């Protein structure tokens, strides 16, 4: 099987996408960090900078807990982005780590740090669900 790799122009394109995404995530992390520091002083942090990111959060957690949760999520995302950038420099980027096929362009445009193609990703999720059921 010939080793698949994306065209240099495509790699460059996704590198830019990932760098842009990383800048945004770092900005969010910084603003969560700052508003938490402010929140400790004033009792209420300025959440406007990432208001759109908390839309999916329940209202029963206080803003400090929410901040920690979001911080962890964004840091996790930052790691995924850094790993994806590593794959760009290795030229393994855009190839599914399970089946070795190209990851759909449509998917990469939405999730530029995706490691699996959509088929393998859903198979993995099914496996995880089955494993969870068995444990019960």
- Two tokens at 37? 């520091």
Question: Shortest distance, CB of residue 134 to Zn ion, whole angstroms?
Answer: 24
Cβ distance to Zn ion smaller for residue 96 or 114: 96
Cβ distance to Zn ion smaller for residue 5 or 36: 5
Question: Shortest distance, CB of residue 74 to Zn ion, whole angstroms?
Answer: 27
Cβ distance to Zn ion smaller for residue 66 or 87: 87
Question: Shortest distance, CB of residue 84 to Zn ion, whole angstroms?
Answer: 16
What is each CA distance from 93 to 49, 51, 64, 77, 103, in whole angstroms?
A: 31, 32, 36, 17, 9
Cβ distance to Zn ion smaller for residue 72 or 97: 97
- Backbone Cα Rg of the chain: 18
CA distance 82 to 78: 6
DSSP state of 100: -
Q: Backbone phi, then psi, for 20, in 5-degree steps?
A: -65, -45
Question: Shortest distance, CB of residue 17 to Zn ion, whole angstroms?
Answer: 20
Residues lying near Zn ion in the complex (CB under 5 A): 96, 98-99, 117, 120
Q: Give the helix ranges, DSSP H, for the chain.
A: 8-42, 63-90, 105-110, 118-135
């Amino acid at each position: 099987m010939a080793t698949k790799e994306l065209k240099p122009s495509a790699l460059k394109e996704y590198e830019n996408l990932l760098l842009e995404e990383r800048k945004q995530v770092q900005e969010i992390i910084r603003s969560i960090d700052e508003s938490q520091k402010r929140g400790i002083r004033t009792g209420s942090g300025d959440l406007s900078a990432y208001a759109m990111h908390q839309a999916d959060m329940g209202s029963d957690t206080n803003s400090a807990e929410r901040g920690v949760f979001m911080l962890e999520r964004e840091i996790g995302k930052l790691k995924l982005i850094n790993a994806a950038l590593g794959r760009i420099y290795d030229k393994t980027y855009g190839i599914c780590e399970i089946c070795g096929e190209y990851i759909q362009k449509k998917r990469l445009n939405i999730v530029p740090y995706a490691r699996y193609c959509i088929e393998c990703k859903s198979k993995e999720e099914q496996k995880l669900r089955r494993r969870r059921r068995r444990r019960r």
